[in-house]
């Protein structure tokens, strides 16, 4: 029998998955919640550009068009590139737009049997097991959040009903009641995007959170979801505080500074200072040349390394240290980090290794120098009526709008796709590690399923 494959998401990862699955002779279905391809590149802030040189952000068999001359293309160009990829490889007809996957559930072997498997799916084959994934899909144009709650509620009722009536009967009722569709497939590829959807928002103690603040609090994803004109209007002539110090925070700070100048300076509040680069090369030496090459791989210790590799990494450690110090000295010379007290505690090498090196927006420190961006450090923060209370400051930071550029909770987003609590647990990483995927794609305890787009890389 023909094996059915469903791909969730038509961003870069989903498009790529679809192309290869088509090449293998399958007839996939791509379920995409939005009405277009390209994923997060549909909703970036106006100034977003690639922070990776375009040669490092391209499908090796599908180069950027010659009309894109920029080294770091603008978000519109990235979106066009992804759209043209989808067109070129005939992916569009396989995509069902406005189709939000609410949950996926593996219906097959009992957990007891699966737990005894030594190999992925029992046989180490993608279609090795007997089960199927039931995918519940909602039309994202018609369903409200309230309805989703209802749906979850009904689903829990169905669990109890299962002992009384056949499973497919319950699913049919669900489908009729909520205009949901239930797809049954043998393999699922989750490409739902790690950096979108579920914002990472800190919980505050009672009376210290946004509820006591008289201004507005949004997450960076809310800001990037606005169209450019609405976003510009939204920030105009407001006193803005931006929380975060990785990529979104300085980008948004720069947009606010461009809009409001020194009259309404914005404040960027950092918990941790990071090494942020003004350009991708140092004195003409490319960062990729220093760190992302075959030789640089020899500079680091790796799990399960042989004696020879261990010996080499140890012998070359002075060189590793030297490159790191070279980069740090260059940045401290180039940028007034010392003046503003934002020299990171971690070494440049540590930050490269943990994928925390990001690019600064153009002229960021010029805006800091002119006073349209104010940099502040605070290990923790809380809200009061007028604004934010920062560590070590007696007066609150008076603010009209707080933008939390505090990143995403991609792991929680992935977990929430699974109906089964057992799979939710399998897919969870520990608090200090990423989702545990073999080759960053397969969770060996979960059969007939792959995840793409959750790999940790130095260029994102
Ligand atoms: C602002 C920003 C800029 C970035 N810049 C770079 C860069 O310069 N270089 C780099 O290498 N990386 C960059 N990244 C990393 C980025 O994650 C990748 O570039 C890449 O585009 C991600 O593609 P994706 O398909 O994995 O995820 P996404 O683009 O997020 O796509 C996921 C898709 O899945 C859909 N979806 C999600 N949940 C469901 C559901 N339940 N049902 C149906 N559909 C669903 C979404 O609607 C979306 O279309 C950036 C990330 C962000 C946030
Ligand atoms: N191409 C582009 O131009 C572009 C633009 C935007 C984003 N991106 C990519 O998108 C991804 C997400 O980036 P992001 O900047 O949105 O998120 P991020 O990289 O996860 O950074 C989140 C920031 O929020 C801070 N933070 C989190 N919780 C906090 C808290 N409770 N209090 C204070 N600070 C807190 C973190 O501080 P700590 O450092 O102390 O943890 C960190 O500085 C990244 O991969 C990024 O490269 C790319």
Q: Which residue ranges form the domains of the chain, and what is each CATH number? A: 4-142+179-195+409-451 (3.50.50.60), 210-278+335-404 (3.50.50.60)
Q: How much is the pTM?
A: 0.90
Closest ligand to 361 CA?
A: 2
Each of the 460 residues of the chain gets a pLDDT tens digit; together they read 689 999 999 999 999 999 999 999 999 999 999 999 999 999 999 999 999 889 889 999 999 999 999 999 999 999 999 999 999 999 999 999 999 999 999 999 988 888 899 999 999 999 988 899 999 999 988 754 445 545 554 555 555 555 444 455 555 555 555 567 899 999 999 999 999 989 999 899 999 999 999 999 999 999 999 999 999 999 999 999 999 999 999 999 999 999 999 999 999 999 999 999 988 777 777 776 767 778 888 888 888 899 999 999 999 999 989 989 988 999 999 999 999 999 999 999 889 888 888 899 999 999 999 999 999 999 999 999 999 999 989 999 999 999 999 999 999 999 999 999 999 999 987 666 667 888 889 999 999 999 999 986 654 4
On whether the CB atoms of residues 421 and 441 are closer than 8 A, the answer is: no
CA 191–ligand 1 middle distance (angstroms): 8
DSSP secondary structure letters along 227-288: -HHHHHHHHTT--EEEE-SSSHHHHHHHHHHHHHTTTS-EEEEESS---EESSSEETTEEHH
Closest ligand to 241 CA?
A: 2
Antiparallel, parallel or unpaired: β 240-243 and 401-404: parallel
Q: If phi over 0 gives left and psi between -120 and 50 gives alpha, with beta otherwise, what is residue 256?
A: alpha
**Does the C-beta of 356 come closer than 6 Å to ligand 2?**
no
Dmax (CA) of the chain: 73
Closest ligand to 252 CA?
A: 2
What is residue 442's three-state secondary structure? strand
191 closest CA partner among 325, 25, 363, 16: 16
Choosing from 43, 270, 389, 407 the residue with most ligand 2 atoms within 8 A of its CB, the one to mutate for a pocket test is 407
Give the total residue count for the chain: 460
CA 412–ligand 1 middle distance (angstroms): 15
CA 396–ligand 1 middle distance (angstroms): 36
**Distance between CA atoms of residues 357 and 335, nearest Å:** 15
Beta strand segments in 266-424, E = 266-270, 276-277, 281-282, 285-286, 358-359, 373-377, 381-383, 387-390, 397-398, 401-404
**Distance between CA atoms of residues 91 and 29, nearest Å:** 10
**Does the C-beta of 221 come closer than 6 Å to ligand 2?**
no
**Distance between CA atoms of residues 34 and 28, nearest Å:** 18
**Distance between CA atoms of residues 360 and 251, nearest Å:** 7
**Distance between CA atoms of residues 117 and 130, nearest Å:** 13
On whether the CB atoms of residues 456 and 355 are closer than 8 A, the answer is: yes
On whether the CB atoms of residues 355 and 245 are closer than 8 A, the answer is: no
Helix or strand run (H / E) with residue 8: strand 5-8
Report the Cα–Cα distance between both ends of the chain, in Å, rounded: 40
The pLDDT value recorded for residue 300 is 85
Going by CA atoms, what residue is nearest to atom 47 of ligand 2? 460
**Distance between CA atoms of residues 219 and 408, nearest Å:** 10
**Distance between CA atoms of residues 200 and 403, nearest Å:** 12
**Distance between CA atoms of residues 42 and 298, nearest Å:** 39
CA 220–ligand 2 middle distance (angstroms): 10
Choosing from 195, 200, 252 the residue with most ligand 1 atoms within 8 A of its CB, the one to mutate for a pocket test is 195
CA 195–ligand 1 middle distance (angstroms): 6
Nearest-atom index, ligand 2, CA of 356 = 19
Q: Which residues contact 38 (CB under 8 A, 6 or more apart)?
A: 10, 11, 12, 78, 79, 82, 83
* DSSP 8-state code for residue 57: S
Going by CA atoms, what residue is nearest to atom 28 of ligand 2? 406
Going by CA atoms, what residue is nearest to atom 4 of ligand 2? 247
Between helix 307-315 and helix 317-334 the angle, nearest 10°, is 40
CA 248–ligand 1 middle distance (angstroms): 14
């Amino acid at each position: 029998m023909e094996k059915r494959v469903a791909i969730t998401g038509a961003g870069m990862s989903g498009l790529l998955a679809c192309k290869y699955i088509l090449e293998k002779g399958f007839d996939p279905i791509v379920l995409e919640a939005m009405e277009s391809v390209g994923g997060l590149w549909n909703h970036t802030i106006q100034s977003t550009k690639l922070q990776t040189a375009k040669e490092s952000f391209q499908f090796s068999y599908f180069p950027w068009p010659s009309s894109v001359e920029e080294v770091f293309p603008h978000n519109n160009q990235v979106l066009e590139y992804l759209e043209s990829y989808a067109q070129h490889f005939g992916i569009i007809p396989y995509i069902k737009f406005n189709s939000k996957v609410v949950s996926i559930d593996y219906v097959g072997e009992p957990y007891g049997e699966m737990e005894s498997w030594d190999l992925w799916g029992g046989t180490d084959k993608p279609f090795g097991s007997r089960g199927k994934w039931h995918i519940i899909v909602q039309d994202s144009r018609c369903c409200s959040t309230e309805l989703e709650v209802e749906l979850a509620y009904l689903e829990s009722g169905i669990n109890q009903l299962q002992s009384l009536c056949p499973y497919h009967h319950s699913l049919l009722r669900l489908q009729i009641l909520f205009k949901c569709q239930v797809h049954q497939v043998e393999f699922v590829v989750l490409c739902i995007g790690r950096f979108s959807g579920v914002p990472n928002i800190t919980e505050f103690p009672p009376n210290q959170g946004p509820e006591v603040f008289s201004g507005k609090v949004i997450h960076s994803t809310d800001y990037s979801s606005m169209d450019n004109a609405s976003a510009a209007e939204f920030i105009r002539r407001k006193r803005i505080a931006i929380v975060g110090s990785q990529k979104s925070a300085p980008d948004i700070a720069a947009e606010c500074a461009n809009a409001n100048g020194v009259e309404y300076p914005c404040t960027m509040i950092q918990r941790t200072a990071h090494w942020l680069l003004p350009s991708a090369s140092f004195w003409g030496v490319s960062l990729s040349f220093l760190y992302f090459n075959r030789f640089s791989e020899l500079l680091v210790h790796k799990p399960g390394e042989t004696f020879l590799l261990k010996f080499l990494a140890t012998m070359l450690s002075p060189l590793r240290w030297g490159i790191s110090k070279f980069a740090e000295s260059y940045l401290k010379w180039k940028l007034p980090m010392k003046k503003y007290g934002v020299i990171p505690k971690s070494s440049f090498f540590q930050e490269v290794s943990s994928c925390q090196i990001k690019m600064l927006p153009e002229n960021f420190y010029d805006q800091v120098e002119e006073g349209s961006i104010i940099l502040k450090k605070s290990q923790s923060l809380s809200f009061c009526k007028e604004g934010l209370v920062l560590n070590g400051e007696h007066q609150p930071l008076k603010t009209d709008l707080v933008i939390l550029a505090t990143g995403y909770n991609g792991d929680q987003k992935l977990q929430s796709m699974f109906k089964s609590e057992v799979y939710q647990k399998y897919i969870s990483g520990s608090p200090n590690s990423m989702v545990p995927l073999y080759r960053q794609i397969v969770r060996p305890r979960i059969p007939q399923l792959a995840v793409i787009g959750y790999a940790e890389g130095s260029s994102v």
